[in-house]
Structure 1
Amino acid sequence: MYRFLLTPRWLGILALTLVAATVMVLLGNWQLDRYRGRTAINEQIDAGLQMAAVPLREALAAPTGGPGTIGPPPAEERTYTRVTLTGRYDTDNIVLVRGRTVDSKVGFEVLTPLVLTDGTAVLVDRGWIPPAPGGALAQPEMPATPAGDVTVEGRIRASESGDAKVSRRDGQLESRRISLPQLAPQLPYPLHGGYVLLDEQTPAADPVFKAVPVGHANNWQNLGYVVQWWIFGAMTVVGFGWIARREARRLAGVTDDRPRDRAADPSPA
């Protein structure tokens, strides 16, 4: 009854069906990996908010090069670790990162190098401030930076990827991204390979700064794609079986012998 499946035509259809179903299953597996990866990141973000701060050196290695060089990036499992460190802010090399949005408003994130006692520095993201009147690119009015020793608590963040030109305007470094490899050559000391997103500071930070939120990755979207791809793969195989059965019934001369609903027939004239 199903010998026709061994013909070249049907073998070709079967091969295409299996290839399509396999591709869909693999796409589902890929989305499952992305779901797991994003879930792990979200768990790290949550853990960083709840954990007690540890010394910087427990989460981030010191740079070993000279001025203008950058140290190793934080290990993946150390990203978002809450750390504490003490140093002095370098107000001559503040970095303004433009085009950043907080609460649906575009402004600047302010990164200031915190110079440690060993002569190395860590960029500290002190928060978001709005631009000055005149447009989203107008340099903000900078609040006073604490002088003397400052103790910072915050979470380790990795450098942002992508090319980002660094320029100096009115004495301030500017960029669109927090790209540490491109910022390091502009600074007169070795720079750590991760920056710190400020949570708390002593003396207290100026209230004009708004905390920069860390968004969670949308892992549930990836899980939805997993289900979709696997369903599509199953439907492809089931669809082939349905078409093959229909063809087998046709070749066997099987017709639909179900009785008609005479009540649905029009009444004779």
Structure 2
Amino acid sequence: MYRFLLTPRWLGILALTLVAAAVMVLLGNWQLHRYEGRTAINERIDASEHMTPVPLAEKVPAPTGGPHTAGPAPADEATWTRVTATGRYDTENIVLVRGRTVDRRVGFEVVTPLRLADGSAVLVDLGWIPPAPGGAMAQPQLPAVPTGEVTVVGRVHASESEAGAVDRREGRLETRRVGVPGLARELPYPVYGAYVLLDEQTPAADPAFRAVPIGHTNNWQNLGYVVQWWLFAAMTLFGYGWVARREARRMAGLDGPSAPIDRAAEPTPA
């Protein structure tokens, strides 16, 4: 009844079905890997709220190059951990990160290099401020930044991808994304390979800076994709089996117009 499945045509259909199902399973596995990675990020974010800060160099490798260079990126497990560092802000090289949204308002994040005792620096995101009157791109009036020694506590944030160009406008560095390597090329000292999202500072930061909220990743979306791709794979295999069974019944004359008529079921003429 199913000998036709060994014909070249049906063997080709089977091969295509198996390849399609395998690709869908692999796509589901990839989304599962992304779900696990994003879940780990969310767990680190939650855990960082209660952890005791440790020295910056314990979580992020110190830069070993010369001026205008960035150090190695931290391990994934180090991101979002709380760290502390002491130094002096370089107010001559403040970076304005434009187009950043907080509470549905577009403004700037202010990133300032903190010069450390060994001559290197770490970029510190002091917070968000609104633009000056005139539009979302109008450079803001910056709150005061301490000129003496400060101690910061914050969370390690990996360098952002697709950073784009770094411009100098009205005497200030300006960019769209916090790409540490690109910003390091504009600075006359080596820079750590990640930046710090400020939680607290001694002496206290100006209250005009608004804390940048830390959002959790949407890991459940990836889990939904896992289920979707695996269901597609199962439906593909089921579809092959259903079509093959239908073809077998058709060839046996059990389906369709050619199916045999059960004469015994016909009523006997009066």
Query: TM over 0.5: same fold?
Result: yes
Q: Secondary structure at the match of 2:69?
A: coil
Are the equivalent residues in 1 in contact too, given 2:253–2:260 (CA < 8 A)? no
2: CA distance, partners of 1:94 / 1:168 = 10
Residue 149 of structure 1 pairs with residue 149 of structure 2 = yes
Residue 176 of structure 1 pairs with residue 176 of structure 2 = yes
Question: Match for residue 16 of structure 2?
Answer: 16
Structure 1 residue 229, shift from structure 2 partner: 0.9
Structure 1 residue 253, shift from structure 2 partner: 2.0
1: CA distance, partners of 2:222 / 2:137 = 35
1: CA distance, partners of 2:12 / 2:144 = 74
Moved more, 60-69 or 100-109: 60-69
1:5-54 deviations in Å (ceiling 9; x for gaps): 11222212211211111111111111111111111121122222221101
1: CA distance, partners of 2:69 / 2:24 = 46
Call closer, same or farther: CA 1:146–1:257 in 2, change over 3 Å. farther
Structure 1 residue 258, shift from structure 2 partner: 11
1:151-183 deviations in Å (ceiling 9; x for gaps): 100011111112421122222111111111111
1:177-227 deviations in Å (ceiling 9; x for gaps): 111111112212221111100001111111111111222211111111111
Moved more, 27-36 or 124-133: 27-36
2: CA distance, partners of 1:17 / 1:200 = 57
Question: Match for residue 266 of structure 1?
Answer: none
Question: Match for residue 107 of structure 1?
Answer: 107
Amino acid of the residue matched to residue 23 of structure 1?
Answer: V
Moved more, 211-220 or 161-170: 161-170
Question: Match for residue 230 of structure 1?
Answer: 230
2: CA distance, partners of 1:258 / 1:227 = 45
5 Å matches for 1:1-269? 1-255=1-255
Amino acid of the residue matched to residue 149 of structure 1?
Answer: E
Structure 1 residue 257, shift from structure 2 partner: 9.0
Q: Secondary structure at the match of 1:247?
A: helix
Q: Secondary structure at the match of 2:49?
A: helix
Call closer, same or farther: CA 1:118–1:3 in 2, change over 3 Å. same
2: CA distance, partners of 1:258 / 1:80 = 74
2: CA distance, partners of 1:216 / 1:85 = 25
Q: Kindly, what percent of the aligned residue pairs are identical? A: 73
1: CA distance, partners of 2:110 / 2:208 = 11
Amino acid of the residue matched to residue 246 of structure 2?
Answer: R
- Using structure 1 for the length normalisation, give the TM-score: 0.91
Aligned pair count reads 259
Structure 1 residue 88, shift from structure 2 partner: 1.0
Structure 1 residue 66, shift from structure 2 partner: 2.2
Q: Secondary structure at the match of 1:124?
A: strand
Structure 1 residue 80, shift from structure 2 partner: 1.1
- Using structure 2 for the length normalisation, give the TM-score: 0.91
1: CA distance, partners of 2:155 / 2:163 = 24
Call closer, same or farther: CA 1:5–1:147 in 2, change over 3 Å. same
Structure 1 stretches of 5 or more lacking a match? 260-269
Are the equivalent residues in 1 in contact too, given 2:54–2:84 (CA < 8 A)? yes
Amino acid of the residue matched to residue 204 of structure 1?
Answer: A
1: CA distance, partners of 2:63 / 2:24 = 45
Are the equivalent residues in 1 in contact too, given 2:163–2:178 (CA < 8 A)? no
1: CA distance, partners of 2:260 / 2:2 = 21
1:214-251 deviations in Å (ceiling 9; x for gaps): 22211111111111111111111111111111121222
Moved more, 248-257 or 34-43: 248-257
Structure 1 residue 84, shift from structure 2 partner: 0.8
